[in-house]
Structure 1
Amino acid sequence: MQRTICITGATSGFGKACAERFAAEGWRLILTGRRVERLQALKEQLRAVPVHAVELDVRDFEAVAAMVRDLPGDFQDIDVLVNNAGLALGLEGAHRSDIRDWQIMIDTNIKGLCYLTRCILPSMVDRNRGHIINMGSIAGSYPYPGGNVYGATKAFVKQFSRNLLTDLNHTRVRVTNIEPGLAESEFSVVRFHGDRDRADAVYKGTEPLTPADIAEIVHWVTSVPPHVNICTVEVMPVCQSCGPLAIHREKQ
Structure 2
Amino acid sequence: MTANKRPIVLITGATSGFGLATAKKFAQQGYPIIITGRRADRLQALSTELKPLTDVFSAVLDVRDNDAVIAFNKQLPEAFKQVAILINNAGLALGAEPADQASLANWHTMIDTNVTGLVNVTHSFLTTLRAQPSATIINLASIAANWPYPGSSVYGASKAFVAQFSRNLRSDFAGTGVRVTSLEPGLAESEFSLVRFKGDQEKYKQIYDNANALQPEDIANIILWITEQPAHININSLEVMPTSQAWDNFKIVKQ
With normalisation by structure 1, the TM-score equals 0.97
CA distances 1:66-110 after superposition (whole Å, capped 9, x unpaired):
111110000000010000000000000110100000000000000
Is 1:27 the counterpart of 2:27? The answer is no
Paired amino acid for 2:136: H
1:39 aligned residue: 43
1:148 aligned residue: 153
CA distance in 2, matches of 1:2, 1:183: 29
- CA shift, 1:118, in A, is 0.2
1:192 aligned residue: 197
CA distance in 2, matches of 1:99, 1:29: 36
CA distance in 1, matches of 2:190, 2:22: 13
CA distance in 2, matches of 1:128, 1:103: 37
1:94 aligned residue: 99
Paired amino acid for 2:190: S
CA distance in 2, matches of 1:155, 1:209: 21
Is 1:209 the counterpart of 2:200? The answer is no
Percent of pairs with identical residues: 49
Moved over 2 A (4+): 126-129
With normalisation by structure 2, the TM-score equals 0.96
CA distance in 2, matches of 1:80, 1:74: 15
RMSD: 0.8
2:82 aligned residue: 77
Contact 1:86 1:108 in 2 (8 A): yes
Contact 1:94 1:146 in 2 (8 A): yes
CA distance in 2, matches of 1:17, 1:157: 21
1:16 to 15, 20, 23: 20
1:246 to 237, 242, 251: 251
Provide the secondary structure at the position in 2 that maps to 1:200: helix
- CA shift, 1:124, in A, is 1.5
CA distance in 2, matches of 1:158, 1:200: 29
The runs of 5 or more residues in structure 2 that have no matched partner are: none
